[in-house]
Structure formats: structure tokens, C-alpha cells
Amino acid sequence: MKALVFHKPKDVRLESVPDPKIEHVRDAIIRVTSTSICGSDLHIYNGYFPQARPLILGHEFMGIVEEVGPRVTNLKKGDRVVVPFPVACGECWFCRQDLPIHCERSNPKHYGPDGSMTRKGGGLFGYTDLYGSYQGGQAEYVRVPFADYGPRKVPQGMPDEKALFLSDIIPTGWAAINWCGLEGGETVAVFGCGPVGLMALKSARARGAGRVIGVDILDYRLKKAVEVAQAAVINADKTDAVEAIRQMTTGRGADACVDAVGMEAEHDILESASNVVKAQVGTMRVLASAMKAARRSGTVSVVGVYGTDFDNFPLGQLFDKGLRLRAGQAPVHAHIDGLLDMVAQGSLRADDIVTHRLPLEEGPRAYKIFNEKREGCVKVMLKP
């Protein structure tokens, strides 16, 4: 089969690789009909997350069931499914608590309670050896472990463009807002208007926010935030975003702020040099801005990815302002069924943020334009 294979930073190639096979009684083989490139894929592409050996990338995918293991009785050949990005067993303590991202069984080599650089949570599709070594879905076929728990059947007539993003960005944006505990009427500021940030803005609207504010440094993404989420927008490259948010909220700050950027935010050469000394990767500039922009006793929700500790974390500010801080990967399995209903009803959608629809063969170019923020690229769909 054909697949997009990561070899080293900035080096993703379309290659012929062996077809996946059933390896466990709970496996399924899926023929991929649609997949996409996520901002999290760029963490590997840019070398922020180390990966020493070739790996098929991709954790947003859907397709047709081709084969199932003997314990998979809820799926059959020909079923059309979308697959959550976490690999989870459905049986361990965390899975039973609706926290599948922390599955105790899906990442046996690197799982651990401390969340260090070498002890991680549950497995993820196409997301390095540290997260289970699972081959990803940017391919013609993919092996899906625990297929009796993860994949969801797609309603007849629902096109791929509407269903695909239930694998990640819709549940991730929803989780970011769910953690904010909205009751209605709040002001929510989302830092980063990439795919997840846009879905957070949409989710905030759906959860009753009175005002949503999108913050970014790229005008084309801010334009998209206005188009698809009716957001007020701030270009943080031209305006002090924190001060602007305070001015929009009678000086208090936003009730909730979402960091949908993470460690790959723009930062200067001095910060990069400091990172070498402090064993840090990237920057926490956006998180710091979100904490400044949140009102006292407000909430900061972090779905942008951070890979290391940071020694300048503003703990004093967190304490003095009485902020509530929530962070992590989205528990997709806990939200996907309700979100599938919302997508089917048309009350939540992500297909309107897709800017590029390309064949899998153009995957290497798609990575380049998405990473370099060219051609107004917000979201890429790939068709094997």
C-alpha cells in the first residue's frame, strides 16, 4: 500500500509499505477513505517530538472496515467508520472513567504515572514510539487496535468531510470549552485560530458563550474565525492582545481563555538559545498570554501541545488570580457520540474550515504548505 512515512524532521515521503494485518483478536483493518494533516503532526515533522525510525503519520482518519478480529462483533466488513485518535482498550480503570487518553494498556513500553519525557499516557495513532509505536492513518489501510471500543459507525449519507474531523479536532475543540464550565453569557478568548482553535470558537458558541474572541498573528486565519465562528478577532502581531481583551471586558479579562497553540508559537533566537540551557522545547508565550488575559477566578484551558517543562511558569500569577487551569489531550471517546449527533443535525461542523483537498500522493507538498503557512492553508484533507 501507499503511505506517508516520516523519516526525519522536514522529511515525509510517499512510499510503498506492507499492508497491515490482524495482529490481535480485537483488531480491525480499515481501508482509509479520508485522512488529514493535524497541527500535532507538525510537532513530529518539525522535530519537537523525537522519532528515530520511520513511522506512518496521521491520527485523523476514517474509512471502510475490510477485516475484523474474532472479538470484534460490533463491526463487520463494509461498515463505514470514523476512528478516535487515542488508542484505548475500553476496559482499564481510566477508560472506565471516560478518560481513554490515559489508557493503561495501549502504551505498554512507555506508559507511566508521572508524565515525564519518557513515561507517557495511552497510545496515539501515528504519534511516535513514545505513544505506542502505532502506524498512522495517512495511508491506504490502517490497523485499528481495540476496534470493538474505538471506531464509530458513520450514518448513511453523511459525507466524509463532515464525519472525518470527529476523529480529533471537533472533540478537541469541544473538550477545551467543556473544561471551561460555561453556564451561558461568558466571554471566551481563544489563542490560535488554526483548526482546533476554530473548533473551540465554534464550541464556545454552541455552549452558550456571549462573546467569542479569536487571537492569532495571521490575517487569513483570523478571517476564517470571522467567517465560520462570527468571532471578534485580534491580530497579536499588531496589537497587544491581552490589553485588547481587557478593554473588551471592562478591564476584568475574559471569563475563559483557551491556548490552542502550544509550544510551537513564534519565538525569538534568544528564547531558542535559552531553551538549550534549560532543556526546554519551544515557548510558553501563548500560555502566559492566556493566563494574563483571563479574569481573576477565570479558567485557562490548554489543548495546544507542550512537550517539556518550563522553568518560568507563572505559578505566582496563577495563585494570585485564583485561576483554574485544565490541560491535556481530548478524551475523544467520551464526547464523540454526542458530537456525532450534533454533526448529523448540522449544529456543529468542521468541513467549512477545509482549505485544501488533495490526493495522498501530494502529502509531502501538503505538509510543506501547511507547516510554512502558505496558500492560506488552514486544513488539508487527503484522499488515498
Asked if 258 and 288 sit in the same domain, the reply is yes
Asked if 121 and 221 sit in the same domain, the reply is no
Asked if 140 and 284 sit in the same domain, the reply is no
Asked if 97 and 185 sit in the same domain, the reply is no
Residue located via cell numbers 450534533: 342
Q: In the chain, what is the greatest distance between 2 CA atoms, to the nearest angstrom?
A: 61
Asked if 191 and 216 sit in the same domain, the reply is yes
Asked if 126 and 183 sit in the same domain, the reply is no
Report the candidate in 268, 259, 265 with the shortest Cα–Cα distance to residue 291.
Answer: 259
pLDDT in tens, 53-80: 999 999 999 999 999 999 999 999 999 9
- Taking the C-alpha atoms of residue 358 and residue 372, their distance in angstroms, rounded to an integer, is 17
Q: What is the CATH number of the domain that holds 89?
A: 3.90.180.10
Domain total for the chain?
A: 2
pLDDT in tens, 212-232: 999 999 999 999 999 999 999
Asked if 360 and 300 sit in the same domain, the reply is no
Q: What is the CATH number of the domain that holds 313?
A: 3.40.50.720
Asked if 111 and 215 sit in the same domain, the reply is no
Asked if 138 and 57 sit in the same domain, the reply is yes
pLDDT in tens, 120-148: 999 999 999 999 999 999 999 999 999 99
The pLDDT, as a whole number, for residue 117 is: 80
Asked if 141 and 13 sit in the same domain, the reply is yes
Domain boundary residue, one of 297, 312, 327: 327
Look up the pTM and report it: 0.93
Report the candidate in 65, 35, 40 with the shortest Cα–Cα distance to residue 151.
Answer: 65
Asked if 162 and 203 sit in the same domain, the reply is no
The pLDDT, as a whole number, for residue 312 is: 82
Give the domain extent around 277: 170-327
Helix (H, G, I), strand (E, B) or coil at 75: coil
